[in-house]
Amino acid sequence: MLLPLSLIIRLCAEYIHGVADAYSFTVYRFISRLFNNINSVLPFSLGELLVVLFPAAAVFFLVYGIAAFIKRRGKRLKTMFNSFINILCVVSTGLFLFMTNCGINYYRSDFSELSGLEVKETSSEKLKEVCIYLADSAAKERQIVKENDEKVFISDEQLFGRCAEAVNSLDESYSFIGIGYKAPKGVVLSELMSECMIEGIYFPYTFEANVNTHITALELPFVACHESSHIHGFMSEEDANFIAFLACKESDCHDLRYSGYMMSLIYATNALYSADKEGFDEVYTHYTEGMKRDIEYYNKYWDKYITPVSEAAAALNDSYLKSNSKTDGIKSYGKMVDLVIAYYEANGK
């Protein structure tokens, strides 16, 4: 019965105004915070462990089912029927938990609606102005942050705990964010995630934010805050990116602030390059040598992972986003620039 119930939940969340918001701010907030805090006791990602064990468990039950079918000669039809019911129950339960732990939040009000932030069309000149603001802000932070022997930016210690606190602290200004969530967790198989061009993932069955620790330090704080925002109930990528920007920007930690400004600058300048090449060239004059080294290192890191495997993973992620009514698919990642511009205009910074 969980299969049709999951469908009903989705339809109600999608077509009845207020259902997703009501659930997200009450039931979801309670269960997500409860299980997120319980699982935080584990020093490893329970979600990653379950993903690794799932194929082995599937093979075991497949072999067990075939053996039972062969052994029960007079009851093979019943055995097949029972196996089908068991599979259906597993799939139904998985779908139901996905909807209650994550899926409903795709239909909640977005950040701009909840905050009153007005997102509107803007000129390339305004976009260039915002890019210069981000570049100048990043340049100031770059003078303070640490470098490795190659003079490339590195983050400070205890990063994930500080990222979780940065997102929790936003609740002081935006009461719909929520508080009390624990730190994201690093993934053991992080390099495999890089092979699939995945920086992080929210695992709804354990309420854990999982982060690829193999990625560059430039993006690591931003990604950790991004994945943390998913636990807070913000599933759209543009909202998660913007919350990551705000969390990093408002943090007292220079490495978080630098990462937030730089990653937002990358998104913004990508948009500017398409709209105004000369404007992009002007913004680039505001980059310091340290910023240029960090971006070069960031680009070199990801260039080596552009493979058929990563392209297939991107296509799968695109299909997943569209299946949850995010019709722009992976293109929606760039929409956070509109939110940054709206924030800049509303706050003058």
pLDDT (0 to 100) of residue 329: 42
> Could you give the 3-state DSSP secondary structure of residue 153?
strand
pLDDT (0 to 100) of residue 308: 64
Give the CA angle between residues 326, 328, 329 to the nearest 5°.
70
Q: Is the Cα dihedral 199, 261, 347, 272 positive or negative?
A: negative
pLDDT (0 to 100) of residue 307: 66
pLDDT (0 to 100) of residue 323: 54
Distance separating alpha carbons of residues 179 and 164, to the nearest angstrom: 9
Query: Cα 99 from chain centroid?
Result: 17
Side chain identity at residue 343, one-letter code:
Y
pTM, to two decimals: 0.89
Side chain identity at residue 78, one-letter code:
K
Q: Work out the angle between the directed axes of helices 159-169 and 237-250 (0-180°, nearest 10).
A: 100
Identify the segments of the chain with pLDDT beneath 50.
310, 313, 317, 320-321, 326-333
In contact, 2 and 9? CB cutoff 8 Å: no
pLDDT (0 to 100) of residue 27: 96
Distance separating alpha carbons of residues 332 and 321, to the nearest angstrom: 9
pLDDT (0 to 100) of residue 68: 77
Residues 232-277 have pLDDT tens digits of 999 999 999 999 999 999 999 999 999 999 999 999 999 998 888 9
